[in-house]
Structure formats: structure tokens, C-alpha cells
Amino acid sequence: MRITPEIVRSEFIGIQAGVARSRHHECVGVSGKIVDETKNTFTLLQGGKARMIAKDSALFRFKFPDGEVVELDGKLLMGRPEDRLKKTVRRLW
């Protein structure tokens, strides 16, 4: 996968993810497969237990199937998954 601003528009359910930083200290280090996504949260399956992580307060590290690892601010991922497809993102670099 090529790293572009279009990555924000991709599907995240089924991707391995982890929390690199968060305002909520108990969420840092949580990792697993994303099993659900809502407007404001990701649900990660960690050791058979589902953990809900707020998007707006975390920096996520995603590992895509092709081996690419990407860190994204959760604020960029806010909104319903189906509405994110319509969103345009300015290139920051």
C-alpha cells in the first residue's frame, strides 16, 4: 500500500492496530484486530476481549496486510466510516 492522504479513506475493519499514544493512559499499548468501527471509536479484539478506544484522543499504529506500518492521528479518522469515503484530505507533506 502506498502511503498517501487517501489512506484516511480506506477500510480499517480487519486490520491489526495498536494505540501508540493516548490521553487515557490505560489505552496505551492496547493492540489487536479492529472488529468494529463507529463514528467516535474503534473496537479492538485483544486476547479474546473487546476494547473500545476513542478515536479523538489516540494516535493509532496500523499494520496493513502488505506489511506496511502507518501511524495516524485518530482525529483524522473521526466520522462514520461511510462518510469518510466522501471526505477530502489536504496533503500535509
Give tens-digit pLDDT for 30-53. Answer: 999 999 999 999 999 999 999 999
Q: Domain range holding 65?
A: 5-77
What's the CATH number where 39 sits?
A: 2.30.30.210
- What's the pLDDT score for residue 6? 75
The answer to whether position 36 is within a domain reads: yes
Number of structural domains found in the chain: 1
Closest-CA residue to 44 (of 22, 89, 66): 22
pTM for the full predicted model: 0.83
Paired sense of beta strands 58-63 and 69-73, if any:
antiparallel
The answer to whether position 59 is within a domain reads: yes
The answer to whether position 66 is within a domain reads: yes
